[in-house]
Amino acid sequence: MSDCDDSGIFEDILNFVGTMFLFYVFFKVVEFGIKLVIIVIAMLFKLLYLSMNGVLITIDHIIYDKKDRALGISYDLKAHPRNSRWLVNPVKRNIMGLMIGVVIGGGAFIGSLHSLDSPSAKEHPPFVAAQVNAKLLNARTSATTHSDVLFQIPELHVVNVLKNKGTWSYIEIKNDRGWVATRYLSQSRTKPSEEQAKLPQFVLATKMANVRAKPSMKGEVLFKLAGDGPIFVLKKKGNWSFIESRGFKGWIATNLLTAA
């Protein structure tokens, strides 16, 4: 009795043949799919070409119909003027169609490149509000300190963060956009810090109040405060309180606050 299992070798051969057959079928299906796509695209281009020819000939009829009838010459004759015009002559019409296609395609390509290069077109995320925690924050043309400064943002002003890149944030404020260092931005938070937890809590005595950059009615409005969320008074100056609510700081008239 032989030590070699001939039946196992036969099964291996069958498995190999079956696998190769499946690969062959898969290849043929893919090949058929590619050919079908090419045929459909070719038919669409041909339909577009015929439609464009029809439109151009129709335009020629609209423009020259009265003049052509006055000549009294059959349209089928080569001597007829319409057969040499750009909108009717096959060679000239094909050249015109090619030129129109190049202009339209080139315009679409340039427009797509412009939209890809534009940050506003690239990014459509819901913005995240953040507050500047530096005395004067530089907004730059790109995410590096070697780039040019576009404008400066005073402390406490609120910006919209459109996207982040490493340690930089692309922000918007009053329709101006630029890159700023993320470490100089404070974003909203729902839970108070340990230090705030030790302070007395206040709420608004009105439905809405202006939070300003300075303790004065002339101070610029940073944001509007609404709701019954906790408000922490960090310091006072006259009739004004420097508060923090959900991570944002500013000055508010003290008489608009009431103990929680």
Q: Token pair of 225, please? A: 């405060």
Give buried/exposed letters for 55-83 (b at 16+ CB in 10 A, else e).
ebeeebeeebeeebeeeeeeeeeeeeebe
Q: How far is CA 167 from the centre of its chain?
A: 22
Q: What are the start-end ranges of the E strands in the chain?
A: 128-132, 136-140, 149-154, 158-165, 168-173, 176-181, 185-187, 201-204, 208-212, 221-226, 231-237, 240-245, 248-253, 257-259
Q: Token pair of 90, please? A: 């096959």
pLDDT digit string (tens) for the chain, length 260 residues: 444 445 567 777 878 888 898 989 999 999 999 999 999 998 988 888 778 777 777 777 777 666 666 666 555 555 556 666 666 666 776 777 677 777 877 777 777 666 555 544 444 455 688 999 999 999 999 999 999 999 999 999 999 999 999 999 999 999 999 999 999 999 877 777 777 777 888 899 888 999 999 999 999 999 998 876 789 999 999 999 999 988 899 999 999 998 87
Strand partners, 137: 153
Tell me if 124-187 shares its fold with 194-259. yes
Determine the topology of domain 124-187 in CATH: SH3 type barrels. (2.30.30)
Q: What is the C-alpha separation between 79 and 61, in angstroms, rounded?
A: 17
CATH class of 194-259: mainly beta
Contact 48, 58 (CB under 8 A): no
- Per-domain residue ranges for the chain? 10-117, 124-187, 194-259
